[in-house]
Structure formats: C-alpha cells, structure tokens
Structure 1
C-alpha cells in the first residue's frame, strides 16, 4: 500500500471515529434526558403535593401578614381622604368621610368587622365605633372632630388619625412590628411598646426555652433507652420497642388527658408523694396548669421522636468497635465516650432537631396542661385567629417563628452540617 493510501486510510478512520463518537455522545445525552424526564414525572406528584400543602400556605400566610384590604374596602371614603396627604387630617373632611363610611358599614351589616379590625389596632375602640355609627346615622349635623370627641374622648387622642391612615392602607408591615413588641408613635417612628404591653418577645423566649428544655430532657432520657435497645438481645429490644411505640400510637389528646388525671392535686402522682411521705396531705404539689405540667407532658409525647432516629443509628454501629477499643487498653466508659458516642452524634442531632422543631409549634399540650404560665407562642397565634380575629398579626407571628426556625437550621448546617444529619 502506498504512503498516500495509508494516510487517506488513517484520515478516514479518524473521521469515522469522530463521527461515531459524536453520534454516541448525542444518543447518551438523549437517553439521559429521557431518564431525567421519567424521574421528574415520578416525583411530580410529590413536588405538587409539597407545593400545595407547604409552599402555597406559607406564601398565603405571608400575604395575609402584609396585605389586608378589609378597612380600605369598608371605609373607602376615609381611605381616599387620608390618601390625599397630611393636610386633610387637620380639617373636617376626613371626619365626615369616616361618619359616612361607618353608617354605610352599619347598613351593610359589616360594622362589626370594622369595629373588630380597629379594636385590634387600638384596644377599646369596638364599642366606640358602634356607638359612633349609631349617633352618625341619627344625626343631621355635619360631623366634625369635636363632634367625634364629644361621643368619646378616644376620637380626640392624637394617635387616632395616624392609626386610621395605617389601618386603611392595603399593604403594611406593622403586623411584624406588633409581633416583635414595637409600634409606631404619633410621628410615625418605630418605638418599643410600653413595658406593661410587651407580650410577644417574652413569649418567644419562653417558647424557645421550653423547646430547648424538652429537647434536653428527651436526650437525657432517650439516649440510655436507645442504647439499651441497640445493645440488648433481639427479644429484649423488641419488648422495649413496643413500650416506646405503644404510647406513640396512642392519640396525643388521650395522652394529654391522662397526664391531666395523673398530675392534678388529687391525682396519682400526688397520692404517691403523700404515701411516700415526701409531702403532706395539706401541701400537695401543683404539677398541672403551669410550666411544670407543660414540660412533663411534652417530654413524654416527644420522647419517641428522639429515641427512634437515635436507635436506628445506634443499631448500625458494630459491637466490635467497643471491643477493639477495650482490647487496646481503653476502659468501658472511655471506649464509650471516645468511640461509641461520637459515632451516634448524627442520630443525636437528628432526634434533637426533630424534637426542637416539633416543640416550637406545640399548641394542644400547653393549652390543656400549661395554664397561664405554661402558654407558648402557638397559643397566642391561635388566640389572634380564633378570638381577636387579627389574622394579619397571627400570620406575622407565624412567619417570625418560621424565620427563627430556619435560622436555627442554618446555624446547625454551618456548625455541624446537614449531611451529618441521619435518621437511620
């Protein structure tokens, strides 16, 4: 074969290999795209479910916390007048608009909504608004600032007009100020609430204190149980697992009710303390309707959430690790502390994080056994939704709690790493 023929042959082979490689690469990419589409189709129901049950409600909750057109729709004339600037607030035009709007809301049967909404902005205005609407409907005089003040001195307070201006805006971040115990003063500047009106900051601190205390108690009680389950024989481990799971399968309301029976002053626990001579009959210990009852009931309910992920990690640790450490001269405690315990830390982290997040949002248990001193922020959120009907403030309180929880998870991820979090 001539040199020219050999060169042409090599060139043709190289061209064929290049074309074949490009075609193979294209086929591989198409196959990968098909597999990706199949995978997306398989997980699409899960993604849709998460969006509908998690992301959409959170987005709606955030919208409610900053957007509330209730008063703007029910007091349209007042809202338009106040939108005209600060000059109108010194004349009678805004008062005349407010009187017309109150009469109109009363005729529509929606005066109660206006009164409740204004009462949420300034407590005590509910009856004032209803009385003013009745007077305005029966009066033929043109309402003035003095006319309103004669009905009730509350209308003459300097913060009323700025409050009306804020309340009739559709978008506002004032709910977040209230959620953190701040307010706007007469000049519109942000200031702290008076000392006797600060509620939420202390409730947040109490909520996190209770959640951390419950997490620590679950860790102190749950680690030995999980260790015993992981190192015992299969029969013993199964019996212990049944003891852990049976309360877990029982309704939470039933368990809380049982603790109410056990912890009351004439309950089983106090009877045992009297029988043992720890307390006398006239000085029974108050274990319910306080923070103590909340801690006891929440620890019992959340204990399985700490034990189960920890046990799933412990059971995977080979027993030979401890024997190898002891054969190299370490004592039993030293081998446990330096070898076994560090291996189980991912399970400890998983259980602690799970218990902490669940404890932060607990509502039923503090409501039933906590009393006044055992209430948490979730109870105040429920109060604003069910009683005061201030959904904007309730949503803001929830968003603040969510942000703090996400911040804690971020700190955990930076310090320990989410990849080290194992549920089994």
Structure 2
C-alpha cells in the first residue's frame, strides 16, 4: 500500500514540470512565428483591408459640407430639398472656401455629375459676400447658378453624402444608381469594366492552360532524366528568375517585332514573304506571359512528382494496364495537388500583371490591373481603383474555393 502511494506521489510530482515544459514549448513556438505573423499582417492583411475600406469609403462630402450632409440624410429625395438645406449649403461653402477639402468634395461630386467642381467654386465665391439674403437662400443660390434649382443636382449631392457608398463597386460592375436610388446598367459607352474583367480572366486562363501543357511534361522530364541532364534543364527553368521582369518583357519586344530576330529568321528561310505581326497583340502577350509564368507551374508539379514512386506505374503495368491507362488512372491523379497549386499560382499572378500587357499587348489587350494603376496613380481615384481590385480579388477567391473544393485545400497546400 505504501509503495502504491509513493508511486502516485511520484507521478503527481512529475506532472507539473511536464505541463510547464509544454507551455514553454508553445510559448517558444509562438515567439518563433510571431515575426512571420507580423510580416503577413503588415504587408498582406492591412493593405487588403485598406483596399476594401477604400472601395466603400465616402467621407469627402461629409468632411467639406457637414451641414448639407446632415440635411441630405433627412431629405426624401423627391423634388427639391427644403430651405434649410440651401442655408446649410451656404454656410458650409463659406466655411470651406479656399480649403483643400472643398476640392476633394468637388472631385467626388464630379463622379456623380460632371460640372460640380465649377458649380461649387462659383457658388462658394459668390455666397461669401451675402450675409442675409432677402428672398431666402433657395432663391439666392438659384440666381447664382440655375443648376441649384434642378432636382438632379441635389440628387447627386444626396447620393454622395453618406459616409459609405456603393458607387465605386457599382461602377466597377458597369452599374449605376439613378436619382430614385435604383440600380441600373451604365450607358453602353461607359460599360468597359466587365469586358475588361472578362478579358483579364480569359487571358489568365489561356496562359495557365499553356503553362500546364508545357510545364507538365517538363516537370516529368526533370524527374525521369539522368541527374546531370536534369540539373541543366532545371537551370533553364529557373533562368527567368535571374533577370528582372522588365528586362524579360523588353527582350520579347526585340525578338518579336517586325525587324526582330524571329521575323528575320522566318523571312530568310522563305517561310513568310513579309514580317508577321507578332508583338503588340494577343499573341505576343501570351508568349511573354507564358515565358515568365512557366516556372510557377513547373515547380509545384515537380515537387509532387518527386514524391511519386516509379513502382506505382510498374505495378499497374504488371496488372495488365496499358501505359496510357496507368498514367490516366494512377499517375495523373497523384499529381493533381501539384497541378492545382501550379494552376492557382500561375493564374493568380497572371491576372494581376500590369507591366507585361502594357508593353507587349495591344490597346485591346489591357487587363484590369491597367485600370487599377491608372486610377491609383493618374486620376487619384482610390475608390474606383480599390473597387476594381476588390472585384478581382473576389473572382480569385471564388476560383480558389472552387479548386479547393475539387482537389482539397490541404492537398494543394501540401499538408495532407
């Protein structure tokens, strides 16, 4: 009995150090991955969150014209607003005259209806000299500019006043909100973003398919060939990583242009009578993108193929299966995680390209990334730039969910 008690006491004495060592191990693990989590948060999570916020953020009008924004919240939108809205507008314009916030509000309102910048500037300059209008602010502002007597002017101001807006997301989908608050399609001459998104996804799909057709046999060759030759081939696969993206893209312009190397060779061999249009079109874009993205397809497939034993194919052959049947039913299914990872990586990188389509593609080959960069850098329209990025992100996440459902997220990530 005493021996049993001593054994139990000894076991209980060992338990706290064991639990303490596990807690220390967890703490050490957390500290080791903390820099990675911080890095991902700073360079991935926060920028994406900022993009999503900018896609619906709408604080310009409220910051410059707070009184009008408050009046617009209580206005039904029918006809013209009450006299108090006109008075609030006059007060806000007097307070904001000459300040940058009025220019930001004018730019935001210009998205809703052109001409608002000149309208606000002219009205703000005029109301500064008026203290007490004799006939009321509604009559005074309408006398300054007749557009203040139009319901459409106030309807645009009402749509732009809330702190959050669907305007940018609707515009990115070729939609708009009319004066009644209903969603309608944009005019035919303004519908460009859905076509651009479709073109972006199609270019990404074709590029991914071409990379798969070329990359799968190359990955298989890297596994099957002798080590020396496979090493040389691997250097060729990794060679694009050793030069900058801009240099690689510019090199294809030299090779594919009318006076380039390829057209010169074809002409000397008598294959063509006149130089071919091989660049600044869709063909040149596909060639350049496949060259750049091919390693992103090969490497994931190669990592999976290295873990497949050759004995599986020999076993299928010993059971009477034709090599083609063995490949389709034994080998190919085992490579699907690598194929899925390679296709996802290639497609995601491809649809986000900006430099290559701009340099090698034609005017009709520009992708969504071109408009994202244009609105972010040229017109400083962060809202529309973020909305286009959010729509593209949603398409990529939908694709990722679809592929993950078919193949398995764990298998793609290599944890199953």
1:374 partnered with 2:365? yes
Whole-angstrom distance in 1 between the partners of 2:272 and 2:150 = 56
Structure 2, unmatched stretches of 5+, are: none
**Deviation of 1:369 (Å):** 2.0
1:166 partnered with 2:151? no
Q: Report what 1:118 is aligned to.
A: 109
> 8 Å contact 1:309–1:422 — kept in the other structure?
no
Whole-angstrom distance in 2 between the partners of 1:275 and 1:37 = 69
User: Against the structure 1 CA distance between its residues 119 and 307, is the aligned structure 2 distance closer, same or farther, given a 3 Å change threshold?
Assistant: same
User: Against the structure 1 CA distance between its residues 390 and 183, is the aligned structure 2 distance closer, same or farther, given a 3 Å change threshold?
Assistant: same
Pick aligned residue for 1:184 from 172, 177, 181? 177
Q: Report what 2:186 is aligned to.
A: 193
Deviations 1:112-159 (A, max 9, x none): 433322222334544554455556568897764795587476x66543
Whole-angstrom distance in 2 between the partners of 1:157 and 1:237 = 74
Q: Report what 1:414 is aligned to.
A: 405
Matched residue SS, 2:164: coil
Whole-angstrom distance in 2 between the partners of 1:395 and 1:117 = 15
Pick aligned residue for 1:399 from 387, 390, 411? 390
Deviations 1:171-217 (A, max 9, x none): 22332222222221111122222333222222222211111111101
User: Against the structure 1 CA distance between its residues 397 and 339, is the aligned structure 2 distance closer, same or farther, given a 3 Å change threshold?
Assistant: same
Q: Report what 1:207 is aligned to.
A: 200
Q: Report what 1:60 is aligned to.
A: 50
> 8 Å contact 1:181–1:199 — kept in the other structure?
yes
> 8 Å contact 2:123–2:144 — kept in the other structure?
no
Equivalent residue pairs, number:
411
Give the alignment's Cα RMSD to 1 decimal: 3.0
1:341 partnered with 2:355? no
1:82 partnered with 2:72? yes
User: Against the structure 1 CA distance between its residues 235 and 149, is the aligned structure 2 distance closer, same or farther, given a 3 Å change threshold?
Assistant: farther
Whole-angstrom distance in 2 between the partners of 1:152 and 1:224 = 71
Whole-angstrom distance in 1 between the partners of 2:379 and 2:396 = 26
> 8 Å contact 1:81–1:94 — kept in the other structure?
yes
1:258 partnered with 2:268? no
> 8 Å contact 1:116–1:389 — kept in the other structure?
no
Whole-angstrom distance in 2 between the partners of 1:55 and 1:133 = 41
1:286 partnered with 2:277? yes
Q: Report what 1:237 is aligned to.
A: 230
Matched residue SS, 2:365: coil
Pick aligned residue for 1:316 from 304, 307, 313? 307
1:34 partnered with 2:24? yes
Whole-angstrom distance in 2 between the partners of 1:372 and 1:156 = 42
Q: Report what 2:264 is aligned to.
A: 271
Whole-angstrom distance in 2 between the partners of 1:167 and 1:262 = 50
1:360 partnered with 2:348? no
Matched residue SS, 2:363: coil
> 8 Å contact 1:264–1:286 — kept in the other structure?
yes
Whole-angstrom distance in 2 between the partners of 1:41 and 1:129 = 55
Whole-angstrom distance in 2 between the partners of 1:161 and 1:332 = 73
Whole-angstrom distance in 2 between the partners of 1:292 and 1:134 = 55
User: Against the structure 1 CA distance between its residues 287 and 150, is the aligned structure 2 distance closer, same or farther, given a 3 Å change threshold?
Assistant: farther
Pick aligned residue for 1:222 from 215, 219, 230? 215
Matched residue SS, 1:293: helix
> 8 Å contact 1:92–1:145 — kept in the other structure?
no
User: Against the structure 1 CA distance between its residues 96 and 307, is the aligned structure 2 distance closer, same or farther, given a 3 Å change threshold?
Assistant: same
Structure 1, unmatched stretches of 5+, are: 1-8
Matched residue SS, 1:107: coil
> 8 Å contact 1:263–1:287 — kept in the other structure?
yes
Q: Report what 1:5 is aligned to.
A: none
Whole-angstrom distance in 2 between the partners of 1:107 and 1:33 = 61
Whole-angstrom distance in 2 between the partners of 1:44 and 1:192 = 47
